[in-house]
Chains A and B, each alone.
Chain A
Amino acid sequence: MEASTTPVKSGAAGAATFAGSDSRKFNYYDPKGRKATHYEDVTLDVQPDPERYLLQDWIINFSDGTPTYSKDWTRCKSADWHKYRSVDQEWEKTHYQRQSTICGTIQSVIENGRRSGAATRFDKSWVKVLQDHLGAYKHAEFGLGTSLMQAQRYGYTQMINNVILTNSSYKLRFAQDLTLYLGEIGLDIEGGIDKDAGKRNWLENPIWQGVRRSIEEIMGATDYVEQYVAINLVFEPLIGELFRSGFILQMAAASNDFITPSVVSAAESDYERNLANTVEFVHTLLNDSQYPLHNNIIISEYIDKHAKLAHAAALQLQPLWSLPRVKVATFADSYDRARNRFSHVLTECGLQVPTLA
């Protein structure tokens, strides 16, 4: 009863042929497209599911009986939570490449700007805007980042949680970008930049209280889908882009500032990806084989709630547009664009656009 074959000398693919010797693809999930993507291979089913392959079920519960992962952590429902794929297909390699590129770009913009003495030529009224208001806004970005960091624990699949995780990573990086940027140009500006002014405005200035309220509502939400949707479908278009693109990017040049727009625009390209990922996520829920209507009602409810807050917050921001000495943009125009963007995004998703009044 002894085996009769000669041992194969090489451990390389193709050195021998036998059952399974050419089975070189992960075969336990269905790719979304014709072929599995690299992202799918390194992401799918890493967070297990008793309905798929978790033979022994979750083996620990919270004291109230909730298992390690629960579908009840959102009011949305899905016939197949595993269907979602992120649009940007990020995994660690692509995430670090992109983040690192942004860090490098921002740093060289700041370094070269400072070397040319750019900050010393900023209009004085503009310096105060940056100190007080870009300084305040960085806290909003931080709140979004920490909310998403919380939310990435709750999704029912790896695909959902990882896309929320990278979103969090982008937001927290950007909050730090702004913080460090203000610190660095402050070194070049006569009289410096008061490092506490931003937070003081964030906490106390009536202009910012609506925004802070909006952010705190997102931080306090216990439904991760609510958080994700409120951030990317509501807050970002109505407040984030309004402030970043509609205010900073438009006003800066007229105040002799070419650096700040470059720093801030990184967040705009981050958002394009996060938005695409969110739209796809919502699209998946709204086209669910069992619960499309239910999800539409829940998500619309979330949008309605957060849009009201964001709308009120946006109106409170209006005085900002009067602050720069040279006024090249108006709040009305910028907010119109923001609202159009908001409507457009919701319509693309197949959602009702709430009336903002």
Chain B
Amino acid sequence: MAASLTLNKITSQKGISIAEATSRVADLGWTPTYVQEAETFPTDYRISKVPRDPMKQVLRSYFPMQEEKDNRVYGALDAALRGDMFRNVEPRWVEWMKLFLAIIPFPEISAARSMAMVARLAPGEELRTGFTMQMVDEFRHSTIQMNLKKWYMENYIDPAGFDITEKAFGKCYAATIGRQFGEGFICGDAITSANVYLTVVAETAFTNTLFVAMPSEAARNGDYALPTVFLSVQSDESRHVGNGHSMLMAMVNDPSNHLLLERDMKYAFWQNHAIVDAAIGTLIEYGTTNRDKNKESYVELWHRWIYEDYYRTYMLPLEKYGIKIHHDDVSAAWDRLVKKNYVHKIAQFFAVGWPVNFWRIEAQTEKDFEWFEHKYPGWYAEFGDFWKWYGRKSVPGQTNMLVDQENGYVYPHRCWSCMCPCVIREDFCVGEVDGKLYTYCSEQCRWTHMVAFQGEYEGRPTPAMGRFKGQRIWEDCYHGWDLAEAIKDLGFVRPDGKTITAQPHLRFDQRDMWTLDHVKGHTIQSPLVLIREMTPEQRDAHVAEYRAGFKIKPCNGACSNGHHHH
């Protein structure tokens, strides 16, 4: 029967089964007797159960599989260049990649580092191969993303901003919101950071918006490189989700862990929402030129992936183990997205501060307005005028948006927890820790700082829990500085020494570009410094006024998008 004859059948020989292979590999570990292994990353959790490896893969099949994935990625990048991708790419989109790709390689490599933190915590070595593959995966993600960024820099019309990328990550007033998403993976209680925050929440829930929704939008904007790289990245995530879940299952049966799991799920869910939805929501809704009304909006995607997939099928089942799930936070996050315009207000904030960014943000136009109003009814009444003002103020010589009083925008406070701006004014709140006043975007973020990140939780000592530190409020770093001086200090100036890296438009002509001279003479102020200087009465009045919100003034007359059509 020649039909059934294959090379494989002729050459195949008996091997050991994958189950046998993984069980032998898991047996490589032993309990040291001469010297105790150093437990250098503390946790308050107790892990007495051996976590099981759900993936059953060994390294000798992993490496060739990954190499094959890489071959496809690099082949596709070459093909994109041969197909002249950049001739047709939408600059509005690529500009936002300067922000996104500045942030993401550090969280990725942090995830590799976090494998050191979880690997020794659990008894047994069954998950070691899973952790090893994740460690190498994250090394892959970090460097493949750096490579993509370099590739954009080499081939896109305006490389400025890509050329300073890792420096910009550490300095920018927008990139700062990505800081928690990175350090949060590797600092503090090892399980809180490396398991719950990173794997159980960020990777299991939010990588879908990061690595699946983003690529779709990229493709709609003529960018075939990002989908190639990020879908390849996402294909590694199921392994990480498996690691995280397995570790979680090794802890969940011990009731002494339940209180901590409840705390960490709450913290991690809320903060992932605050950060990822701010950044990715903005990129997807405002970085696109595609206004197809049939495509899902960011909140529709969120409902599918975060609400239906994650909340209903991953979080809810944890209740049967006795973990308290904060349903109210899930619906509060949903409300922030659909009723309180979280993403739109963050996008507005990013745009207002364009001079202290390092990429171009152009004004939204009539075509965009129509789509927004269709997907988010009421959008135009609240944001239409703002974007008209923005277009009008995009011409050098105008007062820039950050310091302009004419349009009615009130610069927001920052949140000490998520480091995002407190853009939902009615939810703004303050709190005192060790005699110092702090500002928060929401009650949940106030709880995160004041209750969760402390040495005790609901009467239980939590000696391993991390602490919020550093200059968490970006504006504090430049309080009292002249705007032009701050931009120089940030290094957000182009090689001619005077043209600003960021621009509030996509006009690739020197005559349209803002220089330091256009922005000097304005002083940056930190809202936190100011509120701390207030008397208690002034403060109360200020908080009440802040919570009442503001209204953008009508942009009448010459409010076009700033561009003159020939």
A residues whose Cβ falls under 8 Å from a Cβ of B: 1-8, 10-29, 38, 41-48, 52-63, 65, 67-68, 91-93, 95-97, 99-100, 102-104, 106-107, 111, 114-115, 138-139, 142, 145-146, 149-154, 158, 161-162, 165-166, 168-169, 172-173, 175-177, 179-180, 183-184, 187, 195, 199, 202-203, 212-213, 216-217, 219-222
Contacts and interface: CB of A to CB of B under 8 A. Distances in A.
B312 interface: no
B139 A12 contact: no
A338 B218 CA distance: 56
B477 interface: yes
Contacts of B115: 149
B91 A11 contact: yes
B63 A2 contact: no
B324 interface: no
A130 to B, nearest CB: 15
Contacts, number: 376
Contact of A1 (B120, B153, B186, B397): B397
B98 interface: no
A111 B167 CA distance: 50
Given A12-B86, A104-B64, A180-B16, A59 B494 contact: no
A63 B470 contact: no
A183 B16 contact: yes
B146 A42 contact: yes
A221 B469 contact: no
Contact of B467 (A10, A61, A99, A103): A61
A133 to B, nearest CB: 15
A26 B37 contact: no
A311 B222 CA distance: 62
B506 interface: yes
Contacts of B144: 92-93
A61 to B, nearest CB: 4
B455 to A, nearest CB: 7
Contacts of B472: 56, 59
Contact of B499 (A20, A44, A175, A179): A20
A5 B464 CA distance: 59
Contacts of A48: 106, 166, 169-170
Interface stretch (B156-164, B209-217, B315-323): B156-164
Contact of B32 (A27, A107, A220): A220
B123 interface: no
Contacts of A152: 112-113, 116, 135
Contacts of A27: 163-164
Given A5-B512, A62-B187, A114 B463 contact: no
Given A173-B59, A179-B25, A12 B495 contact: no
Contact of B70 (A25, A59, A96): A96
B35 A220 contact: yes
18 contacts: A18-B513, A21-B157, A23-B159, A24-B163, A42-B142, A46-B106, A59-B183, A60-B180, A62-B188, A95-B140, A103-B60, A107-B60, A149-B116, A150-B40, A176-B59, A183-B20, A187-B14, A195-B24
B242 interface: no
Q: Which of A22, A26, A65 has the most CB of B within 10 A?
A: A26
B163 A63 contact: no
Nearest to A47: B109
Given A11-B88, A42-B143, A149-B131, 6 more contacts: A23-B160, A26-B150, A48-B106, A59-B470, A92-B144, A153-B117
B453 to A, nearest CB: 8
Contacts of A11: 86-91, 94, 156-157, 222
A2 B563 contact: yes
Contacts of A6: 566
Given A56-B470, A60-B467, A158-B109, A13 B496 contact: no
Contacts of A153: 41, 113-114, 116-117, 186
A199 B31 CA distance: 12
A60 B499 CA distance: 35
A59 B170 CA distance: 11
Interface residues of B, number: 134
A42 B146 CA distance: 5
Contacts of A96: 63, 66-67, 70, 140
A232 B466 CA distance: 34
A312 to B, nearest CB: 12
B477 A55 contact: yes
Contact of A4 (B135, B158, B467, B511): B511
Contacts of B60: 103, 106-107, 173, 176-177, 180
Contacts of B564: 2-4
B397 A53 contact: no
Nearest to A41: B150
B135 A169 contact: yes
B70 A92 contact: yes
Contacts of A166: 139
B509 A16 contact: yes
B494 A173 contact: no
Contacts of B87: 10-12
Interface string B75-110: 000000000101111110010000000000110010
Contacts of A150: 38, 40, 116, 119-120
A70 B465 CA distance: 18
Given A5-B509, A27-B164, A95 B469 contact: no
Contacts of B140: 92, 95-96
A60 B166 CA distance: 20
Contacts of A151: 116
A63 B164 contact: no
B307 interface: no
A217 B132 CA distance: 22
B135 A115 contact: no
B150 A149 contact: no
B34 A175 contact: no
A19 B395 contact: no
B32 A216 contact: yes
Contacts of B58: 176, 180
B290 interface: no
B166 A26 contact: yes
B507 interface: yes
B136 A165 contact: yes
A25 B158 contact: no
B508 A68 contact: no
B556 interface: no
A172 to B, nearest CB: 5
Contact of B469 (A46, A59, A139, A168): A59
Contacts of B341: none
Given A46-B109, A139-B30, A220-B36, A53 B157 contact: no
Nearest to B180: A59
Nearest to B64: A100
Contacts of B117: 153
A14 to B, nearest CB: 8
Interface in B27-78: 27-30, 32-38, 40-42, 58-61, 63-64, 66-67, 70, 74
